[in-house]
Amino acid sequence: MIEIKDLLSRFDKILISEEGKRETVRQVISEIIKIEIKKEEIKTKNGVIYLNIKPIYKNEVFMKQEEIFLKLKEVFGNKVPQNIR
């Protein structure tokens, strides 16, 4: 009989990879705009990065969007998010 922990272990890698992706996105954006962003303020879904930050910081992100995507492409390769909102 298969134990539940064995079934749930498959999802462990998915959750860790999402956490890792969010942390990497946070580091890249914080490094480029020189403002510290919390990991809880970033969500990724369907290739889109959603930011829950102050509008003035979000404007800075949009102004440097091309630089952010270039840096993310170095890290993620072809699986880089396509948009920031």
Q: Express each pLDDT in 8-67 by its tens digit.
A: 666 655 555 778 888 889 999 999 999 999 989 998 888 889 999 999 999 999 999 999
Q: How many domains does the chain have?
A: 1
Q: Which residue range forms the structural domain that includes residue 77?
A: 4-84
Say what the pTM is: 0.76
DSSP string, 23-83: HHHHHHHHHHHT----GGGEEEETTEEEE-S-HHHHHHHHHTHHHHHHHHHHHHGGG---E
Confidence of residue 79 (pLDDT cuts 50, 70, 90): confident
